[in-house]
Amino acid sequence: MQTVRDILQRKGAEVWSVSPDTTVLEVLELMAEKNIGAVLVLDQDRVAGVLSERDYARKVALQGRSSRDTAAREIMSERVVGVEPQQTVEECMALMTEKRIRHLPVVEGGEVVGVVSIGDIVKTIISEQEFLIEQLEHYITGTPYRLE
C-alpha cells in the first residue's frame, strides 16, 4: 500500500509558498512559472491557507477584482486540510473526495514537508492498478513475472 511519503520520494518534496501579503498577480506568476495549480500561504512558517487557480477564478476574475491590488490573504482558502507522510493514498483520496479539495499539505512534526495533489494521488492509484493487472496476467498465463 503506497503512502504519501512514497509519493514525495518520487515527485520531490518541494513546497511553493507565498506570504499573505503577496499580490494575486505575483501568485499567478509563480504558479505559471512552476506549472502548478496552487500554492501554500505561509504566515511565519505556519500554514495560513491555500490559494488555487479556482480561488482566483471565483474570487478575483468573476468578481471583477484586480490581481495587482488583491492580496493572497483576501482570496485564499483558510480551511486547510493536511496529511502526514505515513497516510495511505487511499486515505488521501477519501479525504479529498469528502472535503472536495485538490491539494493536501504534508506535515511532519509541525513542519510542511511537501504537498500532494489529486493528480499525484490518481497517478499513483493507476500505477498500482496497472502493476496488479500485469501480475494477474502473468499468473493466468503461467509466464514468470520479471521485475524491471
Distance, C-alpha 88 to centroid of its chain? 14
pLDDT(147) > 70: no
Q: pLDDT tens digits for 109-135?
A: 989 999 999 999 999 988 878 877 787
Per the rule left: phi > 0, alpha: psi between -120 and 50, beta: everything else, 142 is left
SS3 of the chain: CCEHHHHHHHHCCCCCEECCCCEHHHHHHHHHHHCCCEEEEEECCEEEEEEEHHHHHHHHHCCCCCCCCCEHHHHCECCCCCECCCCEHHHHHHHHHHHCCCEEEEEECCEEEEEEEHHHHHHHHHHHHHHHHHHHHHHHHCCCCCCC
Whether 25 contacts 71, CB under 8 Å = no
Read off the C-alpha cell for 74: 483576501
Tell me phi and psi for residue 52, to 5 degrees.
-120, 170
User: What are the structural domains, with CATH classification, of the chain?
Assistant: 4-141 (3.10.580.10)
What's the pLDDT band for 107 if we cut at 50, 70, 90?
very high
Rounded to the nearest 10°, the torsion over CA 133, 135, 139, 145 is 140
pLDDT for the residue numbered 62: 87
pLDDT for the residue numbered 137: 81
